Amino acid sequence: MIEYFYPNEAATPLLWEPVLFAYTLLVSGADLLILASLGYLTKKLEKTIPLLLILGISFFSVVLLGPLADLRSPHKAPLLFSIPHISPTYTTPGISLIAFQSILWIIALILSIVFMLLYFSYPMYLKSKEVERFKGLYLAFSLGVDSREKYDKLSLITKGIAIILLLPATLWGLYPSTLLISQTWSFVWRNWVMLPVIYFADTFVVATAIAILVYFIWRRRRMEAEVIQPLLKVHAAGSLSVSALTALQLSIWWFWFDDSIIIQSLTTITSWMFIVIALLITSFVLSLIALRFLVISILVSLVAFAGTIANKWNILMNSQLISKTGMGVFELHLPADWLFKTASPIALAIFLLVIISSLFPLEVKEVG
């Protein structure tokens, strides 16, 4: 195959290194918060709300560590908040999408923490009556809500916050793919027309896979159908959607580029897409089986992780290996410490999960 590159393109073929791969996984915290909000508003995922809230805040609170670790000048990061470019001016037209999303991150994080405190207020009061250790702390987290009547009155405010939280959380679920498409130097991202919906659905698959895995580790053979089955249904829908949308994107490329040199270059991407489709269809089938045999849910989660990790790596890393012309392929060369940098933000999210879940229960037996 003849390879065509722009001058000096080979100098820096990777704009974003694998540490941002961890960032794309941590964005699933936004989708967990979306599910928690929808569960509270519709009462369809009511028993999963504590798990979804704690997981969502644990992952979403550290989401900006990925971009921070990738910055060439990390000391300039505070400028995103102190002088954000979120409105166009005569001298600087346009807006900074990164700054806009950073402001949304603060708003969404504050809303989610307030949502969690209000949701757990009365359950924390009940917990203070059951245990003596840390009783004062539990009473403080109860916010003075010491009866079901007060908790019911508080529900209107909680619902309002849940509704408001949906907007910034949804924008964050869409943000990474939007950022990739706005980087028009990439031939693949510019022509990946289904990328926003694929990425958004894929993030829901990651979110539900995380929730299913954590719930399985926590309860094992004592899992309750009322908790796990709604998660499996959402997961099945997400897995099937990503598989279908990925297959549609393959068809679009074949139609657009036919048997050209570009199709040969895209083999770097398309070969992984077949793997993603196979793994997520497998996860979909396992989800249906797990609705009856709950213990199978661990396989649902593990297979989904394999599929979504392959998908996000393909979207973020493999896509950067295609030349700007679409007719050349670079080799992937990673820094020696890439795995440590990639794992660190995820490890911090898991650490926060352990801390928050030691204070707030993953299951609430009485929520008013």
Per-residue pLDDT of 311-350, as tens digits, reads 999 998 888 888 877 777 778 777 788 888 888 888 999 9
Q: Which of 6-15, 196-205, 329-338, 351-360 has the lowest mean pLDDT?
A: 6-15
> Based on the structure, what is the number of domains in the chain?
1
Share of the chain above pLDDT 70, in %: 85
CA-to-CA dists, residue 238 to 39, 135, 203, 234, 270, angstroms: 17, 41, 9, 6, 20
Segment 179-201 shows an average pLDDT of 84
Residues whose CB falls within 8 Å of the CB of residue 364, separated by 6 or more in sequence, listed in order = 49, 50, 120, 123
pLDDT value of residue 2: 54
In a domain, 367, yes or no: no
Residues whose CB falls within 8 Å of the CB of residue 96, separated by 6 or more in sequence, listed in order = 80, 84, 85, 86
In a domain, 298, yes or no: yes
Share of the chain above pLDDT 90, in %: 42
Segment 271-283 shows an average pLDDT of 96
Segment 20-31 shows an average pLDDT of 84
In a domain, 366, yes or no: no
pLDDT value of residue 362: 81
CB atoms within 10 A of CB 354: 9
pLDDT value of residue 67: 64
pLDDT value of residue 82: 62
pLDDT value of residue 206: 93
Residue (of 311, 52, 62) closest to 199 by Cα position? 311
Q: Answer whether residue 26 shows pLDDT above 90.
A: no
In a domain, 1, yes or no: no
Q: Answer whether residue 151 shows pLDDT above 50.
A: yes
- For residue range 116-143, list pLDDT tens digits in order: 999 999 988 888 888 777 788 888 988 8
In a domain, 364, yes or no: no
104 falls in which pLDDT band (50, 70, 90)?
confident
Q: Answer whether residue 240 shows pLDDT above 90.
A: yes
pLDDT value of residue 7: 65
pLDDT value of residue 286: 96
CATH number at residue 64: 1.20.1630.10
Q: Answer whether residue 76 shows pLDDT above 70.
A: no
22 or 358, greater pLDDT: 358
59 or 100, greater pLDDT: 59
In a domain, 22, yes or no: yes
pLDDT value of residue 169: 93
Q: Answer whether residue 68 shows pLDDT above 70.
A: no
In a domain, 335, yes or no: yes
Q: Answer whether residue 174 shows pLDDT above 80.
A: yes
pLDDT value of residue 198: 93
Look over the chain and give the mean of its residue pLDDT values, rounded to a whole number: 85
Residue 289 near residue 259, CB atoms below 8 Å: no
- Domain encompassing residue 286: 9-359
In a domain, 39, yes or no: yes
pLDDT value of residue 50: 92
Q: Answer whether residue 157 shows pLDDT above 90.
A: yes
Q: Answer whether residue 368 shows pLDDT above 50.
A: no
Segment 228-241 shows an average pLDDT of 94
